[in-house]
Structure 1
Amino acid sequence: MDTIDHHIWTITHGELIARLMLSAVLGGLIGIEREWSNHAAGFRTHILVCLGSTTIMLLSVYGFSEFVDEPNVRVDPARLAAQVISGIGFLGAGAIMRNGNVIKGLTTAASVWVVAAIGLCVGAGFFTGALISTLLVLVSLFLLNKLEKRHIKDRRNRELELEMVDQAGTLGQIASLLGDHDVRIVHIKIVPGSSADHPPSVVVQLTVQVKRQQKFMEAIGRISACPNILSLTSGSLPAASSAG
């Protein structure tokens, strides 16, 4: 009968503390970026997720060492780790919000998920993988985020709300003005205006894609000058549906 090497199933208190501390540091580094960006899952959340997954991994590997000699017990260190990966989804789902056709929080949900994976790596002693993964996540969240904003800052979605006189041809004129300034209509919604209006009015809610900010502002100015436009408000939306 093969002898069992008990050394691989044990861990010193010092190494246990070191792994938990490293887990808190790595999770906190990623959480700092989310906290600075005012996202739902921030500094403390990422630390707790990373610590929790590390603790579960440590439990899975070393918590049942006294049972390895039992003939009817099969020790599987990956079993609890698999449950962490599938179970962390509820936190990610809580960070995702939908506003019409725009979805926010996907990046935060992904960061929570990858922090759990980093915690499992630390708990299992796979330090190289944990450190490289943390470095790549920070590069993605900090550097790539800045590059993304720099290159697509003029290609954002905007939300326009127009109250206009309910007259044939007015909406077509607005669409033509936007098209002349390279502004593409992504979504449109029309609701009735106040029933007390004379003449009757409608409220048009537009989601538009802007290529150049200067042209967009020129289009806003020309639309505001139209005689059938009663009011106009504008707001920005995330440049991509996976933002946040």
Structure 2
Amino acid sequence: MNGLDQVLRDWIANHGTLAEETLRLLIAAVAGGLVGLERELRGRQAGFRTNLLVCLGSALVMIVSTHLADGPWMQGPGFQITVDPGRIAYGVMTGVGFLGAGAILKNRGDVRGLTTAAALWCVAAIGLSAGLGLYSLSFVSALLVLLALWALDVLENLLPRRATRVITIRTRWSAGCVRELVDFIQTQNVKVFGVTFRRPDSEHVDISADIAFTRSHRYYELERKFQEDPRYDLVALERS
């Protein structure tokens, strides 16, 4: 990678400052585009264009901040005011954090978009790196992000993961109705590790069960089972 840096710097030396800054923007666009392409292929909202623009914009801000830091903006006898480019980079990362928060969705207890939000944050950091002229570091970082998004996803899917929920069911009161419900849940390969119940009226009972299951048994599958069974009314299904 040091050879790549030297080749690029030799080319820049022959073409001036504008060429150097253009190269930084192009590298940022390529790095962000590669990460964005992976997100696009997975059908994520923050895909190719979003990641490319975030990385490109971060590089541009970093380039501008280095120009701002070249000299004092105000000076006088015994003092001078300068611009700290690190503060501008900090502002970029904070702003992208808010953008990433917009990519996170919560639907029926299931949180999605955390990986996309993290990828956006990494892409912004790559853009700042490219804006500083750290070409090799930018490319290596982009490759590592792609490795985390693509290759490690295969490994993650092989690992067993446990999720927990609290499910509340309403059914008609009868002797043994709680035991019957627990048995019904366990037939779906879902573990029950806690049960409480209350009587809303003389004919019904609301049973709340703390359940745990692996990722292969999504909670909405259990919800569908209850909806299909006329004995039960699903009251709530939420995170524990």
Pair in the same fold by TM > 0.5: yes
- In the TM superposition, what whole-angstrom CA distance separates every residue of 1:108-154 from its partner, at most 9, and x where no partner exists? 1111111111110000112232222111111110011122113338x
- In the TM superposition, what whole-angstrom CA distance separates every residue of 1:216-235 from its partner, at most 9, and x where no partner exists? 9xx99x98998x63689xxx
The alignment status of 1:35 with 2:43, answered yes or no, reads: no
Contact 1:177 1:223 in 2 (8 A): no
TM alignment of 1:206-217, pairs within 5 A: 208-211=211-214
The alignment status of 1:47 with 2:52, answered yes or no, reads: yes
Per-residue deviation, 1:16: 1.1
- 1:141 maps to what in 2? 149
Contact 2:71 2:82 in 1 (8 A): no
- 1:183 maps to what in 2? 190
What is the CA–CA distance in structure 1 between the aligned matches of 2:32 and 2:163, rounded to whole Å?
31
Q: Aligned to 1:98, what secondary structure does the other structure show?
A: strand
- In the TM superposition, what whole-angstrom CA distance separates every residue of 1:171-194 from its partner, at most 9, and x where no partner exists? 43121343366412489999x9xx
Could you list the runs of 5+ residues in structure 2 that have no partner in the other structure?
A: 1-15
- 1:17 maps to what in 2? 22
Q: What percentage of aligned pairs have identical amino acids?
A: 35
205-214 vs 78-87, which moves further: 205-214
Q: TM-score, normalised by structure 2?
A: 0.68
Give 1:184's aligned amino acid: K
- 1:241 maps to what in 2? none
Q: TM-score, normalised by structure 1?
A: 0.67
What is the CA–CA distance in structure 1 between the aligned matches of 2:42 and 2:173, rounded to whole Å?
42
- 1:79 maps to what in 2? 87
Picking from 102, 109, 114, the partner of 1:106 is 114
- Going from structure 1 to structure 2, the CA distance change for 1:69 and 1:161 (only over 3 Å counts) comes to closer
109-118 vs 143-152, which moves further: 143-152
- 1:89 maps to what in 2? 97
- 1:62 maps to what in 2? 67
- In the TM superposition, what whole-angstrom CA distance separates every residue of 1:90-110 from its partner, at most 9, and x where no partner exists? 101111122354322211111
Query: C-alpha root-mean-square deviation of aligned residues, in Å?
Result: 4.5
- 1:126 maps to what in 2? 134
